[in-house]
A and B are shown apart, each in its own frame.
Chain A
Amino acid sequence: MILNMLRIAWREIRRNIMRSFLTILGIVIGVAAVVTMVTIGKGATEQVRRQIASMGSNVLIITPGKRFGHGQPFGANIPFKEADAEAIARDITSVAAVAPVSSQALTAVYGNQNWTTQVTGTTNDYFTVTNRRLKRGRLFDETELRNGASVCVIGETVRRMLFGSTDGLGEMIRFQKFSCEVIGILEVKGQTATGIDQDDFVATPLRTYQRRVSGNQNVATIMVSIQDGVPTEKAQSDIARLMRERRRLRPGDEDNFTVMDMKEIAKMLTSTTELLTTLLGSVAAVSLLVGGVGIMNIMLVSVTERTREIGLRLAIGATEEEVLFQFLIEAVVLSAFGGIIGILVAIVASLGLTKMMQVPYEFQLGINVLAFLFSAVIGVIFGFVPARLAAKLNPIEALRHE
């Protein structure tokens, strides 16, 4: 008998192919939207988390200017010098590495290839602080750093754009004002959460940069990594004290520089992406709801026809239970089918989108189960409740239904 009921239900699904299709579509759209949005949101959050982990959460970034520096007074933005970085390295015992950093976008030329990239003047400490490893070649040596030699270490994107399939070591890259020899190539690092390609990058000794690019002795930012086990707050306040001293600030004067903790940045970023996930999820939840309303609509529109059908089935000898069972199976099959297709669509869409956005993909079991159950419940309720009402009628009333 159960087999028979399944057969009847299946026949009904096929007979009303349009209605079945629309029901399934409503569920598919709802489920796919919610699952995809949440999966991408979670991926973005995970991306930020990983990035921060790879940066090392023990990194401080020191920039000139006040923290919330709108409308700064003249002269407040006194730039750093290399000596500031050296002073931090010398006087603050809790720091592990200090890198002065200045950078600018420039066009690199090699043969007939050219590529605009970020040129950064710094020291070898930069690679320590930012957790970047050398893949081939070497970093700068003492003499090169001291003399401002024309050498550079490049990221993978720059290598690919200029040298294609060859490794480029020992070649000369030309910029507008200077040339440099490629002495090292860095390991691939990927994109940041905000989509910046971290491998699109050329590093030269700071002196080289100052002499050939900026033409002054300034340092834009100082990046510091703190020794393990030292509280960031301590290092932060030590550095702030030192900088106040070096910048001759009197007690009561505001800081004219900012010492930012990566953890703060991390928290800011993750809370942003989490908010984004919630936002995307809610938007998608609305579409799930709309899908549900759509299903309800389809079911209610077909209720007249279905009520007559129920009347007929009762008249030729179906029992109330058999009719209900048939409708229940129909509703469950359609909803489950829609839910499964929705999840498959979501998997494909999430894989594609996460790949496109370069965020990690992870199957989100929770949201899949939730969306599936929700759609199933909607489908079953709206498929089943009208049928239940109809099956309670006596056959003649149901047959006469207008």
Chain B
Amino acid sequence: MILIEFRSVTKTYGVGQAAVRALRGVDIRIEEGEFVAIMGPSGSGKSTCLHIMGCLDTPTSGEYLFKGINVAGMSRYQRALLRRYHLGFVFQGFHLLGRTNALENVELPLIYQGLPPKERRSRAKEALAVVGLSGWEKHAPAELSGGQQQRVAIARALVTRPSVILADEPTGNLDSVQSHEIMKLLTVLNENHGITVVMITHDPEMALYARRLIRFFDGQVVSDEPNGSKKP
């Protein structure tokens, strides 16, 4: 089943002289269960593309079908619900709530789903266990390493059991060891939990974890091919 489909998606920021054409007609199809890496030079439109996929932003023209449904026709409210139930986002900068412990950070999306506290708690604990942070529930972000913080952020993304996790340079702020741990975690989520993963990275080593590689240049997809050998 096709999960994500872009049809000639464009995105222009600003108007007139100052207009920036971040995406100039992008066509992408991503099947359920794929693990896709997106690469490309800085400013080539990768983040813009991912934000549109994550319903955090809307295309200027073109169509975005999520599970066959046109997102462009949706209201702000409907897109919020799409994010709430189907999409998980992981940012380069983690974006955890400060002075809030890991468990509460992970619980947050479930509050908006209206789950009762008990169930929220147990599912948040489960998610933290999946990312290997059992026992760290009561720790605030300030007490965690960058890699641990990103794992909390991934737990927060997966706790809602989304169809897809969209990660924008998730290892951009991490050292090599922590980066590989995060990539292994994403691989596990993809292979064992059946979550589709779309990830932007600058690091060719990290891109090797994905099974498909899309390259961006100047707002367009310049190559889209299966990725060679997986890293052991």
Q: State the A residues within 8 Å of B (CB).
A: 1, 4, 7-8, 11, 15-16, 305, 308-309, 311-322, 394-396, 399
Contact = CB atoms under 8 A, between A and B. Distances in A.
Interface in B65-106: 76-77, 80-81, 83-85, 87, 89, 91, 95, 97-100, 104
10 contacts: A313-B108, A314-B83, A315-B56, A316-B160, A317-B81, A317-B87, A317-B113, A317-B160, A396-B51, A396-B56
A16 B113 CA distance: 24
Contact of B56 (A305, A318, A321, A395): A395
B111 interface: yes
Contacts, number: 68
A309 B100 CA distance: 12
A399 B91 contact: yes
Given A4-B111, A317-B81, A15 B100 contact: yes
Interface of B: 51, 54, 56-58, 76-77, 80-81, 83-85, 87, 89, 91, 95, 97-100, 104, 108-109, 111-114, 156, 160
A320 B76 contact: yes
A320 B113 CA distance: 15
Contact of A11 (B81, B104, B160): B104
Closest 10 CB pairs of A and B: A317-B84, A317-B83, A319-B80, A316-B109, A395-B56, A396-B56, A312-B95, A15-B99, A318-B112, A317-B112
Nearest to B84: A317
A322 B112 contact: yes
B127 to A, nearest CB: 13
Contacts of B87: 317
Nearest to B80: A319
Nearest to A18: B99
Contacts of B83: 314-317
Given A317-B83, A318-B112, A16 B56 contact: no
B99 A317 contact: no
Contacts of A309: 97
Contacts of B77: 319-321
Contacts of B111: 4, 7-8
Given A311-B95, A319-B80, 11 more contacts: A8-B111, A308-B95, A312-B95, A314-B80, A315-B83, A316-B109, A317-B85, A317-B109, A317-B112, A318-B80, A396-B51
A316 B89 contact: yes
A394 B95 contact: no
B110 to A, nearest CB: 10
A316 B91 CA distance: 12
A7 B56 CA distance: 26
A322 B77 CA distance: 10
Nearest to A7: B111
